[in-house]
Amino acid sequence: MKKSAIILAKANKYMLQAEAMLRDDMAKRIMYSVIPSLAKDSEVYHTGGVVDYKALAAAIEGRHDIIKYGARACVQELKHYKEAFVIYHDTVEALKNADYKKIFEISIKCFNDVKKWDPNYGGDAWKKIAETLLRITQLDENLKQLRANKRSLPDFYDQEVEIMKQIVIYLNVFDGLSHNTSSILKNILNEEEREYHIEETILPFKEIENLLDAKELKDPIDVFKQIYPTLKGSGDINRYKDWFNKIKLNKKYQQNNDESKKDLFIIRLRKTLNPHIIAFNKDKEKLETSLNKLEVDNNPDLFNYEKNFSDSAYRIAGIKYIVGAFFVYYFENYSDKESQIKYQSITDHIIEKLSLFNNKAELLIKESDNIDLSDESTTEKEKLKNLIKKLIELVKNVLIYLEAI
């Protein structure tokens, strides 16, 4: 076997382990959130609301990797900061010294400097990521300090449990965070790859996405059914043996719940739509601002106003194809043929409705072609105003529909 092939095989093996650790740690956190719904009131009362100390301890495993690779992800993002040269030395030194707290503090300050970022970089989304990582880091430091002094603290156990519960809360928040283009967990994996000099993602993100979706199911038994294969494969099954036995005796566990499959499908669809819903809300604001300005602008540059109109109209015209591509991707990667047949009526109805929006947007685009943008007369200005009004109403209707899915 060639040396390059051996290196690639080792890299693949490592990344399988890295993704497995990230996935397994997430499953433990989800399991800890499921357990209280299975416990009796007496069990909760006698443990101060902890229910299962071992499950709580398992739920905070992996926090050090999240902190380390989260810091590296922030440093990578800071390269896009327009004044990166100012903080470059401090971030490199902090990373070298594993001073992650300092990195997060610098990151928060820079991400909050919104005018120094291009679109799709930095900003509020990354600020939230850095703030969450900083809080996890602070809690981890508190936990280390507490454990170092445990012999002198009569209420050590209560304090330890409280900090651990807080860490779980913030780790769960972190799991669900996204930045401007993707889930932050992809960045965590990318940083592990970078550490081991792997140039691009080898593994699919599907299993981690499945766990993120499972967290949003309403019924704890349904959640458990989704995470059980991961927990079983992680080698930690003995930690939860009593709970597994209790759950498996539940009548609902023994049922084949098609409704949860449908719920997972809708959850994934909503996640696909969320970035577009945000974009349409921004479009609506821009169009309303354009309309207000046109009312008072005596010498309007119609080309500038028309750009906002076109961007929004073409976005509406394209949403049908984005959702259609999602359906193809979902059924090829996450579902079986039987489910595809069951969901056909849902997908057909959604595509039919989005096609109506598509047709209306295309008609507005055609109407806009008849406007002479170089003519600053009142007539052309009124034509554009009327089209913007129609488009605002269309955007509102699109938002109402997408948000109701």
Residue that terminates a domain, selected from 203, 234, 254 = 254
Residue that terminates a domain, selected from 205, 234, 254 = 254
User: 194 and 278 in one domain?
Assistant: no
Considering only CA atoms, which of 253, 230, 255 is closest in space to residue 240?
230
User: How far apart are alpha carbons 189 and 193 in whole angstroms?
Assistant: 6
pLDDT at position 11 over 60 = no
User: 275 and 237 in one domain?
Assistant: no
User: 282 and 206 in one domain?
Assistant: no
User: 142 and 19 in one domain?
Assistant: yes
User: 362 and 243 in one domain?
Assistant: no
User: 236 and 343 in one domain?
Assistant: no
Tell me which of 341 and 186 has the higher pLDDT. Answer: 186
pLDDT at position 270 over 60 = yes
DSSP string, 95-134: HHTT-HHHHHHHHHHHHT-GGG--TTSSHHHHHHHHHHHH
User: How far apart are alpha carbons 232 and 144 in whole angstroms?
Assistant: 30
**Averaged over 245-257, what is the pLDDT?**
80
CATH (domain of 356):
1.20.120
User: How far apart are alpha carbons 290 and 106 in whole angstroms?
Assistant: 37
User: How far apart are alpha carbons 111 and 177 in whole angstroms?
Assistant: 15
Query: Looking at the 3D structure of the chain, how many domains does it have?
Result: 2
What range defines the domain where residue 350 resides? 258-404
Amino acid 291: pLDDT: 92
User: How far apart are alpha carbons 210 and 215 in whole angstroms?
Assistant: 9
pLDDT at position 2 over 60 = no
User: How far apart are alpha carbons 176 and 213 in whole angstroms?
Assistant: 10
* Token pair of 293 as six digits: 């300005």
Amino acid 363: pLDDT: 96
310, with CB counted inside 10 A (0-12, 13-18, 19+), is: middle
Amino acid 119: pLDDT: 81
**Averaged over 335-345, what is the pLDDT?**
77
**Averaged over 343-356, what is the pLDDT?**
91
User: 86 and 105 in one domain?
Assistant: yes
User: How far apart are alpha carbons 85 and 99 in whole angstroms?
Assistant: 19
**pTM (global) more than 0.85:** no
Residue that terminates a domain, selected from 202, 232, 254 = 254
Q: Could you report the per-residue pLDDT of 81-119, keeping only the tens digit for each?
A: 999 999 989 999 999 999 999 999 999 999 999 899 988
Phi and psi angles of residue 178, each rounded to the nearest 5 degrees, phi first = -130, 150
User: Residue 82, SS3?
Assistant: coil
User: 222 and 168 in one domain?
Assistant: yes
C-alpha atoms less than 13 angstroms from C-alpha of 319 in its C-beta half-sphere: 33
**Averaged over 323-331, what is the pLDDT?**
89
Residues 6+ apart with CB under 8 A from 103: 71, 74, 75, 91, 94, 95
DSSP string, 319-363: HHHHHHHHHHHHHHHT--HHHHHHTHHHHHHHHHHHHHHHHHHHH
Q: Could you report the per-residue pLDDT of 40-51, keeping only the tens digit for each?
A: 666 554 455 566
- Looking at every residue in the chain, the average pLDDT score rounds to 86
User: 267 and 231 in one domain?
Assistant: no
User: 128 and 7 in one domain?
Assistant: yes
User: How far apart are alpha carbons 214 and 221 in whole angstroms?
Assistant: 11
User: 220 and 346 in one domain?
Assistant: no
Phi and psi angles of residue 48, each rounded to the nearest 5 degrees, phi first = 65, 25
**Averaged over 8-12, what is the pLDDT?**
48
User: 248 and 264 in one domain?
Assistant: no
